[in-house]
Chains A and B, each alone.
Chain A
Amino acid sequence: MRLSPAQIWRTRIPRYRLLGKECKKCGRRHYPPRPACPYCGSRELVEVELPRTGVIESFTVIYTVMEGFKDRAPLIIATVKLDDGTRVVAPITDAEPEDVRTGMRVEAVLRRIRDDGSYGLIGYGTAFRPTILVHKTS
């Protein structure tokens, strides 16, 4: 997959940091950031760092993948509802299809999302993995 420097550069901050936008008029948030609010059309938007945890709302398993993604098949793509209610479409990683179910808690991680062969650019971005770290706060 051909990746242009301009494209990688323009989208790096929202992709790396899960940076979305919040509408000053209707208060709703969206991701990825757009020039106008998808809910009310307002252009009065502020950047907001979205929560890195949420639940899988729906997902699809893609067995027939584009060239360049064969080593990742099957691809699991999910709509994740973040803890603030914002919906993000992203790959699910570190999980096999039989592990994944709707309602499952997931957390954001930085991963290689796309790759322009052995000589081109690497596109880093956000994927989600099942929250695996049972971390005691005693």
Chain B
Amino acid sequence: MARDSGIISWGAYVPRYRLKAEEIVYLWGWDPNIPRNLNVTEKAVENVDEDSITMGFEAAYNAILRAGINPKRIGAVFFGTESKPYAVKPSATVIAEALGVTPVTMASDLEFACRAASEGLRSALALVESKYIEYGLVIGSDTAQANPGDVLEYTASSGAVAFIVGPAKEAVAILEGVYTYVTDTPDFWRRGLSPYPKHGEAFTGEPAYFSHIEGAVRGLMESLGLKPDDFDYAVFHQPNGTFPLRVGRRLGFPKEKILPGLVTPLIGNTYNASALIGFARVLEQARPGQRILVAPFGSGAGSDAYSFVVTDRVDELRDKAPRVDDYINAKKYVSYAVHAKMRGLYRRIAN
């Protein structure tokens, strides 16, 4: 039973620069097998003039371009990130202003580790269904941080994704159901004045990632009376290239349904854009009538499982803006030293 809301359009952004995993192996003297064990080869890194706002803007610009709607009809802009350029001062208003959505709109930055944008998506869909807004814009964008020398460095990457949500009759993918599952689980955190997050190593797996995604996906399938066979694609949060395949196996989803939305092996984990950029990539190949499972996860911890059914409109919109793979393929490698400069990791003194 479909609900009266869905995805109207999508847009993605991946920065041009890539850092190879082997550079990190060499610099910090890691076991050379680590990238293979994590199923990652390289990650996308931002240029010196980029941040989560500029990347989120481009993803959102692409979503509006693809939809062909007047930005003034957007009634909510939700920005999910854990790499805010300002600790206090909303990023959502900068993007809303740059897109021409302002001034009559809701706008806020959300925080729930990697799951903030997904909470924004659920909220925006609900605002559409309750007729508070006509369209909502949801953005997930991160320049993910990792302590230099931490294993997190192999995956923490940069990228953004955006969705316009609206009424089901205009949707490329209609919302069929959503199920949220959260608990207080200390698997990954960053205190206010700390530049880098800390994490519970192995604790990030079983009690955090697996238990919450499985809780949300099982709850969704039970509430809709669906089983893994009913889905054509399954997209999970992807902190590395192996966890999504493993959680899929445990839930009964074969590898073939997961691989189309698995982008972390190519660009790293883009945090708030992680599963959602995978969802965008799936929309770029899905056929009308197909059913997509999307399950983002955020530390701390929680997961939302969504079921979407693709409509005929997807074929009309696919080529109206750059695709995820256009960005994945447009790349240039940088050394660790150049990446460190672009990130401001060197301590200089003023002349």
Q: Which residues of A contact B (CB under 8 A)?
A: 12-13, 16-17, 67, 70-72, 91, 93-94, 109-113, 122, 124, 127, 129, 132-138
B53 at the interface (CB under 8 A from A): yes
Chain B contributes a number of interface residues (CB within 8 A of A) equal to: 29
Q: For B330, list chain A residues within 8 Å (CB).
A: 132-133
Determine if B327 and A138 form an interchain contact, defined as CB atoms under 8 angstroms apart: no
Docked CA distance A58–B58 (Å): 26
Q: For B350, list chain A residues within 8 Å (CB).
A: 67
Docked CA distance A134–B98 (Å): 25
B48 at the interface (CB under 8 A from A): yes
Determine if A135 and B16 form an interchain contact, defined as CB atoms under 8 angstroms apart: no
18 A–B contact pairs at CB < 8 A?
A13-B97, A17-B100, A67-B350, A67-B351, A71-B341, A94-B47, A109-B58, A111-B50, A112-B51, A122-B85, A122-B86, A124-B54, A132-B330, A133-B322, A133-B327, A133-B330, A135-B326, A136-B319
Determine if A137 and B319 form an interchain contact, defined as CB atoms under 8 angstroms apart: yes
Q: For B348, list chain A residues within 8 Å (CB).
A: 70
Q: For A137, list chain B residues within 8 Å (CB).
A: 319
Docked CA distance A53–B341 (Å): 29
Determine if B58 and A71 form an interchain contact, defined as CB atoms under 8 angstroms apart: no
B interface, by DSSP: helix, strand, loop or mixed? loop
CB neighbors of A among B84-109 (8 A)? 85-86, 94, 97-98, 100
Docked CA distance A109–B15 (Å): 12
Given contacts A67-B351, A93-B49, contact A112 B326 (CB under 8 A): no
In the complex, which residue of chain A has the Cβ closest to the Cβ of B95?
A: A110
Q: For B342, list chain A residues within 8 Å (CB).
A: 71
Determine if B327 and A112 form an interchain contact, defined as CB atoms under 8 angstroms apart: no
Determine if A112 and B351 form an interchain contact, defined as CB atoms under 8 angstroms apart: no
Given contacts A12-B97, A13-B97, A71-B342, contact A93 B326 (CB under 8 A): no
Given contacts A13-B97, A71-B341, contact A135 B319 (CB under 8 A): yes
Docked CA distance A40–B311 (Å): 53
A interface, by DSSP: helix, strand, loop or mixed? mixed
- 7 closest Cβ pairs, A-B complex: A16-B98, A111-B49, A132-B330, A133-B322, A133-B326, A110-B57, A112-B49
Determine if A17 and B50 form an interchain contact, defined as CB atoms under 8 angstroms apart: no
Docked CA distance A20–B350 (Å): 36
Determine if A111 and B319 form an interchain contact, defined as CB atoms under 8 angstroms apart: no
How many residue pairs link A and B with beta carbons under 8 A? The number is 61
7 other A-B residue contacts (CB within 8 Å) besides A94-B47, A134-B326, A135-B319: A67-B350, A71-B341, A91-B49, A111-B49, A112-B49, A112-B51, A122-B86
Determine if B49 and A72 form an interchain contact, defined as CB atoms under 8 angstroms apart: yes
Determine if A71 and B344 form an interchain contact, defined as CB atoms under 8 angstroms apart: yes
Determine if B97 and A132 form an interchain contact, defined as CB atoms under 8 angstroms apart: no
- Kindly identify which residue among B48, B57, B97, B322 contacts A72, using a CB–CB cutoff of 8 Å: B48
Docked CA distance A138–B320 (Å): 10
- Kindly identify which residue among A67, A72, A135 contacts B323, using a CB–CB cutoff of 8 Å: A135
Docked CA distance A112–B56 (Å): 13
Q: For A113, list chain B residues within 8 Å (CB).
A: 49
Q: For B51, list chain A residues within 8 Å (CB).
A: 112, 122
Q: For B319, list chain A residues within 8 Å (CB).
A: 135-138
Docked CA distance A17–B351 (Å): 34
Closest chain A CB from B24 CB (angstroms): 21
Q: For A72, list chain B residues within 8 Å (CB).
A: 48-49
Docked CA distance A126–B171 (Å): 32
- Kindly identify which residue among B98, B321, B323 contacts A17, using a CB–CB cutoff of 8 Å: B98
Closest chain A CB from B139 CB (angstroms): 13
Given contacts A93-B47, A132-B16, A133-B327, contact A110 B344 (CB under 8 A): no
Bitwise interface map of B from 2 to 39 toward A, beta carbon under 8 Å scored 1, else 0: 00000000000000100000000000000000000000
Docked CA distance A13–B94 (Å): 10
Closest chain B CB from A15 CB (angstroms): 9
In the complex, which residue of chain B has the Cβ closest to the Cβ of A111?
A: B49
